[in-house]
Amino acid sequence: MNPLRALFDKLEKPFHKGAPLEKYYPLFEAMESFLFSTRLVTKSKVHVRDNLGTKRFMSMVLFALTPCALFGIYNTGYQSHLASGLSLDLVSVVLTGAQIVLPIVIVSYAVGLFWEFLFCVIRGHEVNEGFLVTGLLYPLILPPTIPLWQVAVGITFGVIVGKEVFGGTGRNFLNPALTARAFLFFTYPASISGEVWTAIITSKDKIVDGFSGATALAIAAATEAPNNAQLAMESAGYNLNDLFIGFVPGSIGETSAALAIVGGLFLIITGVGSWRTMLGGFLGAVSMSLLFNYFATSSTLPFFQLDLLWQLSMGGFAFGIVFMATDPVSSPALESSRFIYGFLIGMLGMIIRVINPAYPEGWMLAILLMNVFAPLIDYVVLQKRKKKRIRNVI
């Protein structure tokens, strides 16, 4: 037998029913089932079960997130070195990025898992692997400048209020990572308002000339008529290519629309993320953005005129639609509702981004809002579905 397996068999004893550590069995189970396939067998009449379990399901999302996370580390270091006038070679950039990002990820996981385990031990539940996803999504939508204690406070709120008070993963109606992010946004607006999102590692006086640190979105939102938002961004050094690939300051993992698309394709191919939500979100954003263009005049906000491609490449749009909107738990349950849900997110997010100068980015709020409306969409779609069936009641 595998020596590790043997070790676990030995370790298991004190966690058994009646043994001293019985209460902490969920902890043991989490470790064990992380390493080994389950020893549980079927009890119902369906004696054979599919190979897909929630662990595999969630690890697919983690795979999809990996490119964004890795690029996030690189880009954080890159932006920081760029602003500080330091060397831009790969190794040093990655090292700096890792120094900034890894502590945030570690705090997110450590604090989040602490709460997760605590609730599981109290409830006697098994630990749900859903947190492995939340714990990575959350740091990726934070700015690299975030203080670590805020990371901890945010994830605490996200896990407890966004999820555990409702009974844990599967019973929550809001996306926990976004709940955590929204909490920080409203509680500590100064740290997260989206003005300056580059982690500066040198003293202030060494910052390169001309660096303002303002994100593309902040510039676009702040442009006043009769100026042109695109020109304003270009003169601040932004171009479409960088925005799409992600070489711009912004939240750690959100900047690269390209890699979010890669992750999205992976989710669609494996069937783990709903393509209807993504397609809906894309079409919603496109149509709203075109509508803005259509109604743009010299008296409207200059942001109205901004070209579609810029709109789609900027900020957290791609990341939000691919990874946040598709969270199955907080989405509507019906596949057909998911398209409507995605579409409304796309439209709403674009509206918030363009029209409301108080919010630098719209996707977080749009998705949370639609999370709340998800059951309503389901309800409407369900009534329609019912009409198509031949009734079968007693």
Question: In the complex, which residues of this chain contact another protein (CB under 8 A)?
Answer: 2, 4-5, 29, 33, 35-57, 59-60, 126, 128, 130, 167-171, 269-272, 274, 328-329, 331, 333-335, 382, 385-386, 389-394
Which residue, 169 or 215, is less far from another protein as judged by CB?
169
User: Hunting for tokens 């009534």 — which residue is that?
Assistant: 383
Listed as own residue / partner, the contacts of 115-121 with beta carbons closer than 8 Å and 24 or more positions apart are 115/155, 115/156, 115/159, 115/160, 115/164, 116/159, 116/164, 117/26, 117/27, 117/30, 119/164, 119/168, 120/26, 120/27, 120/30, 120/168, 121/23, 121/24, 121/26, 121/27
Minimum separation from the CB atom of position 308 to another protein (A): 30
Which residue, 212 or 270, is less far from another protein as judged by CB?
270
Which residue, 198 or 330, is less far from another protein as judged by CB?
330
Minimum separation from the CB atom of position 275 to another protein (A): 11
Q: Is the CB of residue 293 less than 8 Å from the CB of residue 308?
A: yes
Q: Is the CB of residue 167 less than 8 Å from the CB of residue 128?
A: no
Minimum separation from the CB atom of position 6 to another protein (A): 11
Which residue, 128 or 256, is less far from another protein as judged by CB?
128
Query: In DSSP terms, which residues pair with 214 in a beta bridge?
Result: 196
Q: How many CA atoms lie within 13 A of 266 on its CB side?
A: 19
Minimum separation from the CB atom of position 14 to another protein (A): 20
Which residue, 338 or 353, is less far from another protein as judged by CB?
338
Which residue, 10 or 204, is less far from another protein as judged by CB?
10
Minimum separation from the CB atom of position 384 to another protein (A): 12
Q: Taking the mean position of all CA atoms in its chain, how far away is CA 167?
A: 21
Minimum separation from the CB atom of position 109 to another protein (A): 17
